[in-house]
Structure 1
């Protein structure tokens, strides 16, 4: 049995967990994923490791980078950039997680690459999106779940009379924003592939994914409670709007 994304080529410029998680799913669905790795990037083999010592193997990479090919290219080098452009000519998807504006400096932004391949689908996955007051802020999973409000829900609340006594939030055991951003990126890419196959010119598109927006969308029940709290008779003083009084 064939896989749904066979013959689809993905160029993966992403680092850490969110982007590689998205390309992992695409690879599992049959896409040919080519990771472009910077030979000078110090975190190319993140912990945990299988062994100790200088040439230790990353257990993280064994999980997240499965079913992927890789090529080492320093995109600041003109010769390497030309090799990258040749890969783009035959690619369907570009996935990147650089800070906004960095791809323009490297000459690997959507405007540049869409001139080489008009059918390219280009997905940018960042903490706060490409535009807005936070666009250049560095961040991690903890920042995104804090800003969107998930962290506030993840704490115990005790009621003594009319007084609400709140404990400090408990950090989630998984990276909700990182994995959520990867999942939503995959959904966006699959939707763009379907749209590209429908349009007569076979033109690709640009996808802007914000991890903060992704995890904010994970709270429909909390949002419903917030918007209706002045009228809600069914949930009086809930410890958590997701669980009621349980």
Structure 2
């Protein structure tokens, strides 16, 4: 048996994914990539993300947003407001290892799927609850939306020019780091359970996730006492000396990361840099250094500058668009993107896995499911007989799709 044929490292674990949007589904998908049996428990009308395509990117039967966050899952479509639907979920919880939800605080309790209720059914359950700002507190009921959290986190004022509008990340940064945090929390709690037999509640919130992501920057402020000061040029980070950021060239843009000023001056032909001290003038003349660097870089192409900087040992790199990223030789070498065939969406190419395991590699066994595609088989596995399943289907408590 090759490593490719071996079950994933989490094979044998079952995850009930009751989450919506990005952070929760992304965390559950990573568990599925590692071999866990992830059952996506969604409303009979389908999860919200099925109906909200990012960028308007649709599909045949599954939009791209949902497709990207829900591979390696089976779908059970069930009405949890129906008492019979709640009973179905409790049957599933009896044999589950992880339960993951990102309802607003209070909703899980109203539905009867909070930790206290479900741990009474299965004391060994690892219950992961994701919220925007915390399970309680003054902001608990605020919407946990990515841009709102980016703005609140302080991160948007760590780059750019003084006086200009704060600048958001070009991706759903807070959702992504929250997903990673929830994924790590689930794994740690499973390890604890392996050692002790005890399940537990794991709570993750988006505000804390993006705040702790800035461990170094915030420590510079809280311990070092340095204010978060933007200046006149578009520096990429307020706590790093000049030059640091993206610069236009004759045919595009490159980034420079705090090069030695004397060496940079020699390459650029900028004599004023030759007598500068990196850690003195890189701060006291930050805008001047940035502006002069920017002016000089316009003279040559990105490739010419990158070749010159590489030869001199200066940290520089290209500014890619997505098409450039896909064509990058290191990306191709790493196998960063994976391609698989989906039964309704055809040939799909998407980012793959952020981890490597020599013995139990992650893999894609199925693409994102249709809503309720696996309802019948999941209920059978939970012990419901054909008559019970037929009654639930007839009542509309659950649905199946083919």
Normalised by the shorter chain, which TM-score bucket? 0.7 to 0.9
Q: Does 1:21 align with 2:26?
A: yes
Q: 2:131·2:144 contact (CA, 8 Å) conserved in 1?
A: no
2:129 corresponds to which residue?
124
What's the counterpart of residue 161 of structure 1? none
Q: Does 1:205 find its partner at 2:200? A: yes
Q: 1:3 to 1:40 in 2, by over 3 A?
A: closer
Larger proportion of helix: 2
Q: Answer yes or no: is the 8 Å Cα contact 1:221–1:241 preserved in 2.
A: no
Cα 1:208–1:79 change in 2 (3 A) is same
Q: Which residue of 2 aligns with 1:174?
A: 171
The aligned counterpart of 2:12 is 7
The residue number in structure 2 matching 1:153 is 158
Larger Rg over CA atoms:
2
- Aligned partner of residue 85 in structure 1, secondary structure: helix
Q: What is residue 190 of structure 1 aligned with on the other side?
A: 187
User: 1:87 is matched with which residue?
Assistant: 92
Alignment TM-score, normalising by the size of structure 1: 0.87
For 1:190-242, what per-residue CA distance to the aligned partner results, in whole angstroms no more than 9, with x for missing partners? Answer: 0000001111xx1200011011100001112211321355589xxx9875334
SS state at 1:187 partner: helix
How far apart are the structure 1 equivalents of 2:143 and 2:41? 22
In the alignment, structure 2 segments of 5+ residues that lack a partner are 1-5, 245-402
Alignment of 1:1-150 (within 5 A): 1-40=6-45, 43-45=48-50, 46-47=52-53, 48-51=56-59, 56-150=61-155
Please state if 1:223 is matched with 2:228: no
Rounded to whole Å, the distance in 2 between the matches of 1:178 and 1:44 is: 14
What TM-score do you get using the length of structure 2 for normalisation? 0.54
Aligned length: 231
Deviation at 1:2, TM superposition (A): 2.9
